[in-house]
Amino acid sequence: MSRIIKTSTPGKEREHLSKAIVITVRNFMRQEKSDAETGDMVAFVILALHEIFIGIEQSVVAWEKRGYWVKADKYRMEWQWTAEKSSILLEAFEKLDWSLITTLLIEIMQKFSNLKVSDHHRMGKPWLGANLHLSKLKESINN
């Protein structure tokens, strides 16, 4: 049996999710009216922010094992906004408060302002089906 080599790290996943969020919010802002795809976009941003937060915790655990507590706490505080925005966005999405959702998405885009994502990316539409995943996640949490 051969070794299993994990090529994906929390940092790479965070970078990928961050770019996907930028692409999703750009497309959200281009829409003229809300539809099923709009719901998928918002759900994707909620899920992606949650995944980024989980990845931060994985990175921090490795640093804490080595005794880098100050670095770990600083990094955790730097990315704490992902969990906060994710929960606020989820509440707004459940209420279908589109003005608050739009405001939150603009704030999230400002956090990723240093990312450069080409309009000719190869990610496709990462948000497709995200609303279903979000529903399943909420259902599993409630059970």
Tens-digit pLDDT profile for residues 51-110? 999 989 888 888 899 998 999 999 999 999 999 999 999 999 999 999 999 999 999 999
Greatest C-alpha distance within the chain: 55
CB 141 within 8 A of CB 53: no
Asked whether residue 124 carries a pLDDT value surpassing 70, the answer given is yes
Q: Which range has highest mean pLDDT (4-13, 95-104, 124-133)?
A: 95-104
Q: Residues of 55-94 as b/e, b for ≥16 C-beta within 10 angstroms?
A: bbeebbeebeeeeeeeebeeebeebeebbebbeebbebbe
Question: What is the reported pLDDT for 139?
Answer: 72
Asked whether residue 1 carries a pLDDT value surpassing 70, the answer given is no
